[in-house]
Structure 1
Amino acid sequence: MSPMNIADVDLNLLKVFEALHDESSASRAALRLNVTQSAVSAALRRLREVYSDQLFVRTGRGLAPTLRANQLKPVVSEALNKCRQSLAMVDPAGQHFDGRSVTLGLSDDFEIAYGRRLIEEIALRAPKLRLIFRQTHSQIVGQALLERSIDVAIAAGGFTERLLSRQVLGEGDYQCLVDPISLAEGQPMLSLEEFVAREHILVSSGGFIGITDEGLAAVGLSRRVCASTTHFAALPHLLKGSHAVATIPGHAARSIAALCGLTLLPCPLALPRYPIELGWRTHTAQDPLLLIVREAIVASFS
């Protein structure tokens, strides 16, 4: 096969590729691009010729990207965003955010506590921009940024790679959540003895040991974890009607307690505070859109 030259390629195909990768469906991609499904199918046939790869294969749940498609996606999206950025340079005072999106990596405790505020702050600064929340955490966030699966991230650290920049947003603590039916009337807190005696719900991205277990071990104690979950959002359903306790980051504990009728209590165990940081790829520091998004995130946390 002869080498492909960019002069031979209809660059509108890249918009179809991006839509197919995001939507995993030809019909949804067509809806997003305001074209017919047959036009999307024709573009996909041409894309397969250009990249000498299937790119997307049919599964029971739509179109799944191939390895090559996953490798191409961040490069294609970055190129399209550069094009959108160039159009905005013609009218710097204009607001050219319609059709653009920014992917924000964060764990669901931050999404629960700050998600609504982030949506509102970003909407003020970049109307019509779509914000995409994508789950991550401090152990994998650096790699996710470098692989371009997310644009910016909020995490409790994890931005140590050489090509990343970071900014401290604040400091976190830990609080306890319980069902009020399990407390005596007016009970202001759990004693350490009662805390240890209760069953515990652990929220962890993996593993059996949490920060609470480490804190208890330091004073010669241990607890019984009756269940663990990877989702903070599941806690109200797991705690209601029980005597169990969950010890989680304070920002999420306060939000969940306010919305779900659980009681927020101070943790009777001295646990270390932790940094809350904003991270991004250093070379995107001057991207006007990402600068707006970072400013909105800082404002949300202030």
Structure 2
Amino acid sequence: MNPMNIVDIDLNLLKVFEALHEEASASRAAIRLGVSQSAVSAALRRLREVYGDALFVRTGRGLAPTLRANQLRPLIGEALSKCRQSLALLVPETLDFSGRTVTLGLSDDFEIAYGRGLIDKVQERAPGLRLIFRQTHSQIVAEALLDRSLDLALTAGGFNARMLSREILADGGYSCLVDADSLAAEQSALSIDEFVAREHILISSGGFIGIVDEALAALGLTRRVGVSTSHFAALPYLLAGTSAVATLPSHATERIARATGLRVLPCPVTLPRYPIELGWRTTPQADLAIQRVKEAIVECLG
């Protein structure tokens, strides 16, 4: 491959690379960019010549990036981000964010509790910007931010890494969800004995032990877990018509109860509270799109 100079390269190719990496499909990248699929294919051929690599290979599920493409992704993403920031300096109050995306990492309890409100507030602050919600948790969030698969993240910690900044937005606690028909008339709480006697649904990425088990063990008690799931969104279907109980973050119990008719009850065992934190990559020049989303998140949780 002959050495390339930037003056020999159409910088629009970088936008095609970004779209292909994020969409994993030439047809979807074409729709996103507002061009024909043949134009995307031609751009990909040129990109392959420039970088001396296939970059994206066909699989049964679309286009998968090669190792070289994954290495290039943060560099190209940073270059395009700098270009967008330079344009935002012109007239930031009237900037149209159409075509921009911000990827927010969060677990589905936060998505359930705050997702709709966040969408609305982002559209007020950054018209045209598209949010991408991507599942994450505190054990993997730092790596995802550093490798640029996430722009921002909302979790209960996990941001103790160099090059990351964080802000504590709120203090979280836990409540229980049950089917209202499993309660006696006017019942507003579960005794510890009734709590232990009921079947439990555990929400856990590991699927074995949760903080409720730890709190009960300190009291010399155990519970019976009927099923473990990694998705809070499944709870209305797993609890309906049963006497089972699920213990989960209070922000999610309130939202799920309003949408489904399940009942929120206080947890009869004392559980530790936790910080709700917003994390992002530390950069000398803030991206205005990311800044607007940060502002919306702070207002939603304020």
Query: TM-score surpassing 0.5?
Result: yes
TM-score, normalised via structure 1 length = 0.96
Call closer, same or farther: CA 1:284–1:97 in 2, change over 3 Å. Answer: farther
Say whether 1:136 aligns with 2:136: yes
| Corresponding letter in the other structure for 1:106 | L
**What does residue range 67-106 of structure 1 map to in structure 2 within 5 Å?**
67-106=67-106
- SS for the counterpart of 2:227 is strand
**What does residue range 1-302 of structure 1 map to in structure 2 within 5 Å?**
1-283=1-283, 286-302=286-302
Distance in 1 separating the partners of 2:45 and 2:74: 21
Could you tell me how far 1:207 is from its partner in structure 2? 4.0
Distance in 2 separating the partners of 1:100 and 1:75: 17
Could you tell me how far 1:194 is from its partner in structure 2? 0.7
Could you tell me how far 1:60 is from its partner in structure 2? 1.6
Encode CA deviations 1:17-69: one digit per residue, 9 max, x unaligned: 11111211111111111211111111111111112221111112211222222
More moved, 280-289 vs 144-153: 280-289
Encode CA deviations 1:97-129: one digit per residue, 9 max, x unaligned: 111111111111000000011111111111111
| Corresponding letter in the other structure for 2:159 | F
Distance in 2 separating the partners of 1:213 and 1:51: 53
Distance in 2 separating the partners of 1:67 and 1:201: 40
Could you tell me how far 1:7 is from its partner in structure 2? 2.0
More moved, 66-75 vs 45-54: 66-75
Q: Is the 8 A contact 1:215 1:269 kept in 2?
A: yes
Any unmatched runs of 5+ in structure 2? none
More moved, 214-223 vs 94-103: 94-103
Encode CA deviations 1:171-198: one digit per residue, 9 max, x unaligned: 0110000111211111111110011111
Q: Is the 8 A contact 1:101 1:131 kept in 2?
A: yes
- SS for the counterpart of 1:189 is coil
| Corresponding letter in the other structure for 1:107 | S
| Corresponding letter in the other structure for 1:218 | A
Distance in 1 separating the partners of 2:95 and 2:185: 54
Any unmatched runs of 5+ in structure 1? none
Distance in 2 separating the partners of 1:230 and 1:68: 33
Q: Is the 8 A contact 2:88 2:288 kept in 1?
A: no
- SS for the counterpart of 1:248 is strand
Q: Is the 8 A contact 1:88 1:96 kept in 2?
A: no
Distance in 2 separating the partners of 1:116 and 1:43: 36
Q: Is the 8 A contact 2:207 2:228 kept in 1?
A: no
TM-score, normalised via structure 2 length = 0.96
More moved, 287-296 vs 48-57: 287-296
Could you tell me how far 1:77 is from its partner in structure 2? 2.0
More moved, 30-39 vs 281-290: 281-290
Distance in 2 separating the partners of 1:23 and 1:103: 13
More moved, 55-64 vs 269-278: 55-64
- SS for the counterpart of 2:93 is coil
Distance in 1 separating the partners of 2:103 and 2:55: 22
| Corresponding letter in the other structure for 1:258 | R
| Corresponding letter in the other structure for 1:190 | L
Encode CA deviations 1:221-248: one digit per residue, 9 max, x unaligned: 1111111111100111111111111000
Could you tell me how far 1:90 is from its partner in structure 2? 2.4
Distance in 1 separating the partners of 2:208 and 2:287: 41
Distance in 1 separating the partners of 2:126 and 2:42: 34
More moved, 271-280 vs 2-11: 2-11
Distance in 2 separating the partners of 1:172 and 1:43: 48
Could you tell me how far 1:284 is from its partner in structure 2? 5.7
Could you tell me how far 1:257 is from its partner in structure 2? 0.8
| Corresponding letter in the other structure for 1:58 | R
Call closer, same or farther: CA 1:285–1:264 in 2, change over 3 Å. Answer: farther
Encode CA deviations 1:112-170: one digit per residue, 9 max, x unaligned: 00001111111111111111111111111111111111111111011111211111111
Q: Is the 8 A contact 1:103 1:134 kept in 2?
A: yes
Distance in 1 separating the partners of 2:4 and 2:33: 26
Identity of aligned residues (%): 69
Could you tell me how far 1:285 is from its partner in structure 2? 6.2
